[in-house]
A and B are shown apart, each in its own frame.
Chain A
Amino acid sequence: MTSTIIMPQLGETVAEGKVLAWFKSIGDEIREGDNLFEVETDKVTIEVQAVVAGRLSEIRVGPGATAKVGEVVAVVDGNMTAKAPVLTAAPAAKTSQWRSPFEEVSTPIGRFGPAKGPNGIHLTPLARRLIAQGGLDLAGLATEAQRRGERRIDGAAVRAAISARPATPTAPLPAPPSPLPVPEGNVISLNAVRLRTGERLTENWRTIPHVFQAIEVDFTAVNRVRRSRKADFQATHGFSLTFLPFIARATCLAISAYPQINARFDGKVLTLSRDVNLGIAVDLDHNGLVVPVVRGAGELTAIGLAKAIRRQTEKAKAGKLSADDLAEGTYSISNNGAFGTTFTAPIINAPQVGILSTDAIRLKPAVVSTPEGDFLAPRMIGIVAQSFDHRAFDGAYSAAFLSRIKLILETRNWDEEFPSDL
């Protein structure tokens, strides 16, 4: 068994050393503590002793030569192996912290148009955002401002332009998107954000073999709890308690039983994720689709999910999402309940392998089985569905996952998710 002699660490900031002389020759017997060689650094000259015993079989860095700290300078044949230090790779850093240490300040992503108009007039950042979000015509505004002799376009000017437009009704959330104003000629050009989103959707549709499965869920029990907690929730948190937090919670719980759903696929390898980073698809009126992520969703209760989803959705609508908010999603939910649809087959966000969709939940006649017999009753029924990547797993696995979500939604004690003294 051989051991290696390395250039030792000689000083706090020393990176290399020059061997001045060897005190042993090849073939010599070495005992622990023997002086082996003399080394010079920019701070000090020092003799290096052996920490192993054996026969010096090889000198790799001779007199006059320089080696970096840690580099092998000689080899000793002997009975003591210098074990390499075991530096096991640390497990992946948990993202349960609120902020990444390298994102103490969350830079918003998204470009909202150029800083100057076509005629060179400056725009404030607020003006650029309002123009992009309002779908206004920059060239027109720039010409107008120049005509009025203004030096720049600011937020007030854009807001004035917005209010001068014929108003498009903005319904309170959640609401179906208002129809695009149709100018003369039936030509609607898409803005940059929409075009980019479209490109991504196309790529995902093209490369992933989507299979769509749906299951009918009875939301009556969920609805009972939701209704009874609604007023208190609104008073405490300032927004409305919808079905989505319950569905998200059930999804996270089901994922722990079906971990392949919460994975990333690169075409060859399926990597399961330990954390559930749940993407919530948010439709930005006329500005495409973003999927901000709720990190560590698996650790949150229904209330926690409600708050986190609300926070991310608000950020998305205000254009304040950062790269951190959009990254590292492991599974997504497309919530279409507000549109009144029965089911929706969403497009998967690569490299995820599935996306849940939920649609309208409404009272429908259903058969309820009791020990006394089967009866027709009005129940709150909704479809919960999944588009999944058939390369990652098969229909039986996906169906089992959906069945688990159904079971959780229908039978879980949802009251326990809420504090008893709200």
Chain B
Amino acid sequence: MAELTYRDAVARGIAQEMERDERVVFLGEDIGKAGGVFKTTVGLYEKFGPRRVRDTPISEQAILGAAMGAAMTGLRPIAEIMFADFLAVCFDYVANEMSKLRYMSNGQLACPLVIRTGNGGGVRFGAQHSQAVENWTMMIPGVKVVAPSSPMDVIGLMAAAVRDPDPVIFHEHKALYAIKGEVPDGEIVDRLGTAKILRPGRDCTIVALALMVPRALAAAETLQREHGVDAEVIDVRSLVPLDTQTILGSVAKTGRLFTVEENPRLCGWGAEIASIVADEAFWDLDGPIVRITTPHIPLPAADHLEDLALPSASRIVDKVRRVLNG
């Protein structure tokens, strides 16, 4: 066991896969010699060399297009899109190309690649560099989407993503890069499509993702200690495929559902989960489903305003308590 930061876990996860399989290659802007603008890929260039770790020009479309062409013809590329907001610049490849290739070609062509990207806010980068956009990628049929919340999950889900034969979009969270977590030694391989119950409970189910997970856990502690509410906290981890069974099972037990989403209100990932639960688990619900989200606004740069916008542990406590008592 060792204690590792989330950002070091990224490098370790990529290295684990590159060591295992010669076909795994890595491209992106400033990822090689510079070790990544967030220092997430330090050491990879030195270890694997310029042939396997390639710095590119500022050409997001070329980065994703080249990753796709390489994946189609035999390699297992990992492509970095530096800030998740930039997915908008090369969204054609996500929305129209890699997601539809297998279907349109009737199974002749495949696209086993991973796009890893720095997602989310809380780091004062302003409106164009702080968005949580995992919901943009969730709504395109044909891709898989994960967003780990801990260093161990980073490594395990990165391994699962690289080994997966479909295109996977791996949303790292910029505000989590510095957090630390326990990581066992040796190879770590997780499974896509699995959520984790991080804190079992009886009174309500709180479903969260990425940065919202530690906040939901903190809120659950406060809810227990100060209000006698025993909340079950689930880390969704994987938006596509979605582990609906774990969530439905939890709601069957508690009868109450809350989602904590960093996406701005409309069409956040929790809206889909709320809809599924309201449908399949209707007869288990003992009260309305409540989504706790960032308001539907661009994000400000000012720290006090940004902190107000993103759901905080205290906002979660407040909302859950009020709704359960009401």
B279 adjacent to A105 (CB under 8 Å): yes
| A107 B286 Cβ-Cβ under 8 A | no
Number of interface residues of B (CB under 8 A): 12
Return the contact of A128 from the options B276, B279, B280, B283 (Cβ within 8 A).
B283
Which residues of B are found within 8 Å of A156, using beta-carbon distances?
A: 286
Which residue from chain A places its CB closest to the CB of B252 in the assembled complex?
A318
Residue contact B287 to A124, C-beta cutoff 8 Å: yes
Once the chains bind, are B286 and A108 in contact (CB under 8 Å)? no
**B285 near A: Cβ within 8 Å?**
yes
B164 interface contact, C-beta 8 A = no
- A129 and B284 CA atoms in complex are apart in Å by 8
The answer to the question of B148 belonging to the interface, with a C-beta cut-off of 8 Å to chain A, is no
In this complex, the member of B252, B276, B280, B284 whose beta carbon has the largest number of chain A beta carbons within 10 angstroms is: B284
B282 at the interface (CB under 8 A from A): yes
Whether B286 and A124, one on each chain, are in contact in the complex, defined by CB atoms closer than 8 angstroms, is yes
**From A108, A126, A155, contact of B280 by CB (8 A):** A108
Interface flags, B253-295, vs A, CB<8A=1, else 0:
0010000000000000000000110011011111100000000
Our count of residue pairs bridging A and B at CB distance below 8 angstroms stands at 40
Q: Please classify the interface of chain A as helix (H, G, I), strand (E, B), loop, or mixed, using the class held by over half of its residues.
A: loop
Q: Which 6 A-B pairs give the minimum distances between C-beta atoms?
A: A129-B283, A155-B286, A126-B286, A124-B286, A125-B285, A105-B279
Instruction: Kindly list chain B residues whose C-beta atoms are within 8 Å of the C-beta of A318.
Output: 252
* Any B CB within 8 A of the CB of A96: no
Chain A contributes a number of interface residues (CB within 8 A of B) equal to 18
Taking A107-B279, A129-B283 as known contacts, 15 extra A-B pairs with beta carbons closer than 8 A to each other, sorted by chain A number, are: A105-B275, A105-B276, A105-B280, A108-B280, A110-B283, A124-B285, A124-B287, A125-B284, A125-B285, A126-B286, A128-B283, A129-B284, A154-B286, A155-B255, A319-B283
- Is A271 in contact with chain B by the CB < 8 A criterion? no
Interface centre among B279, B280, B284, B286 (most CB of A within 10 A): B286
| Inter-subunit contact A125/B276 (CB<8 Å) | no
CA of A360 to CA of B274, assembled, Å: 46
Interface of B, helix, strand, loop or mixed by DSSP: helix
Instruction: Produce 1/0 per residue, A148-159, CB < 8 A to B.
Output: 000000111000
A124 to B254, CA, bound (A): 13
CB–CB A125/B282 < 8 A: yes
- Cα A355 to Cα B282 in complex, Å, equals 33
20 contacts between A and B (CB under 8 A): A105-B275, A105-B276, A106-B279, A106-B280, A108-B280, A112-B283, A124-B255, A124-B285, A125-B282, A125-B283, A125-B285, A128-B283, A129-B283, A129-B284, A154-B286, A155-B286, A318-B252, A319-B283, A320-B280, A320-B283
Using Cβ atoms and an 8 Å threshold, which residues of chain B touch A291? Answer: none
Q: Considering the chains assembled together, what is the distance between the CA atoms of A125 and B252 in angstroms?
A: 12
Q: Flag whether A127 is at the interface (Cβ < 8 A).
A: yes
Q: How far is the CA of A207 from the CA of B303 in the complex (A)?
A: 75
